[in-house]
Amino acid sequence: MNLEMLIHDFTNRFGGEEGIMTFFAPGRVNLIGEHTDYNGGHVFPCALSFGTYAVARKRNDTKIRLFSKNFEDFGTIEVDISSLSYNDANDWANYPIGMVKIFRDAGYQVESGFDVLYDGNIPNGAGLSSSASIELVTSVLLKSLYNLDIDMIEMVKMSQRAENQFVGVNCGIMDQFASGMGKKDHAMLLDTNTLKYAYVPIKTKGITIVIANTNKRRSLSGSKYNERRSECENALKALQQELEISSLGDLTEERFDAYQHLIQSGIEQRRARHAVYENQRTLKAVNALNAGNIQLFGELMNASHISLRDDYEVTGIELDTLVEAAWENEAIGSRMTGAGFGGCTVSLVHEEKVHKFIENVGNIYEEKIGYKADFYVVAIGDGARQI
Ligand code: GLA
């Protein structure tokens, strides 16, 4: 990203050159631990080196003017700090507007407005958390512009709250956590129940992370995500008749197997099985990685995909085609990543095989699905910050 160009665009649009600050927050890819973050389980994401940039400057009045180079057709969106509410017509800008509202509601002193220009290099709607990156880049921007005394974990929580309460997407905390707390060359093992976390170096010696985009657009606010959440909540209630647990993440596989009969609905039983097994699988995968057993890590990624396909039912033909093609083309491990229903897969591939891998998987996908997939060979970057 050319920062000078962005600053130039900012001054063209909003005038003046004084008082400009620049910020960045990354997207994320989750290596394993899917649909566990609202079930009190573990996740294992890492921040990407691409994400959303923001150029911003404080104003003396109460106007907030927002422009995104990713949504130029919407032009400059203007709101007043005294009346911040969700508005369909504001489209993408509801994310930053929601952040300001959540900060103010929490008592942080954001009393004047600001001008901001965003530009992101994450594909939108691909499941790589472009929205979390807008939330986090807005958080760090508010912190710097208004000299707020707030730490990153708090900003992560406020970003999730903006998405839950303002935008109305009932997401867990993984995406915001990864975007805020990311560390170069490390993945993060996060216990979403306690928010305890540990950085794990990804020894990429000879191993490359390849993301493949189905290019099938998915909408998180779509009912399916919230439907899975309530299926898990129902299953938990059924188990709580006899078990003293506060989330599905409290269960081992053995304990779940012994009590799953309490869940009347077969569908809810399978959803809960995924949540319990995926959480345990995430812990096993991180142990394998720490022990240098990348092969086992890959096998657990594959098992994660099968569980998301068969028990959780969030994959679909596009994701399955990419993953099966990856398995056939010597991926160490491959699975869907993010919410599912379209979006991306993540594969671990031996460095010297990446070129052939992308070519083969791309061909198989296009032949079967009728349009192309996109591939990104990614680097793991740092979390949200002023730059
Ligand atoms: C989306 C949500 C996350 C998480 C994943 C599935 O990315 O925003 O909180 O639930 O789906 O693991």
Which ligand 1 atom is nearest residue 35's CA?
12
Query: Ligand 1, atom 9: nearest CA belongs to which residue?
Result: 172
Distance 174 CA to ligand 1 centre (A): 6
In a domain, 71, yes or no: yes
**Best mutation site among 31, 42, 174 for ligand 1, i.e. most ligand atoms within 8 A of its Cβ?**
174
* Most informative mutation of 36, 163, 171, 225 for ligand 1 (most atoms within 8 A of CB): 171
Task: Check if the beta carbon of residue 8 is closer than 8 Å to that of residue 117.
Answer: no
CA 291 to each of CA 36, 118, 200: distance values in angstroms, whole numbers, following the listed order: 23, 41, 11
Which residue has the least CA distance to atom 8 on ligand 1? 171
pLDDT digits (tens, 9 = 90+) for 89-109: 999 999 999 999 999 999 999
Confirm whether 79 is domain-assigned. Answer: yes
Site residues for ligand 1, CB cut-off 6 Å: 34-35, 37-38, 171-172, 174-175, 338-339
Task: Note the pLDDT of residue 218.
Answer: 65
Please list the active-site residues: 175
- Its pTM stands at 0.96
Residue type, 68: S
357 in a structural domain: no
pLDDT, tens digit (0-9, with 9 covering 90-100), for 297-311: 999 999 999 999 999
- CATH number, residue 95: 3.30.230.10
- Residue 117 within any structural domain of the chain: yes
Asked if residue 303 belongs to a domain, the reply is no
For the chain of 387 residues, list the mean pLDDT of each consecutive stretch of 10.
94 93 98 98 97 97 97 97 95 97 97 97 89 98 98 98 92 97 97 97 86 82 83 98 97 98 98 98 97 96 98 96 98 96 95 97 98 96 98
4-15 pLDDT, tens digit each = 999 999 999 999
For residue 153 the two structure tokens come to: 């974990």
> How many CB atoms within 10 Å of residue 16?
10
172: Cα separation from own chain's centroid:
9
382, part of any domain: no
- Number of domains making up the chain: 1
User: Which residue range is the domain that position 146 belongs to?
Assistant: 3-31+45-183
Whether residue 265 lies inside any domain: the answer is no
Tell me if residue 143 falls in helix, strand or coil.
helix
Q: From atom 11 of ligand 1, which residue's Cα is the shortest distance away?
A: 339
In a domain, 70, yes or no: yes
179's tokens: 């975007």
Alpha carbon distance 46, 30 (integer Å): 6
What is the structure's pLDDT at 17?
84
Q: Are 280 and 307 in contact (CB under 8 A)?
A: no
Instruction: Check residue 380 and give its pLDDT.
Output: 96
Strands (E) in the chain, as ranges, are 21-32, 42-58, 63-68, 77-80, 114-120, 186-191, 197-201, 207-213, 333-337, 344-350, 374-378, 385-386
The Å distance, Cα 37 to ligand 1 centre, comes to: 7
Q: Using the mean position of ligand 1's atoms as its centre, give its distance from the Cα of residue 379 in Å.
A: 21
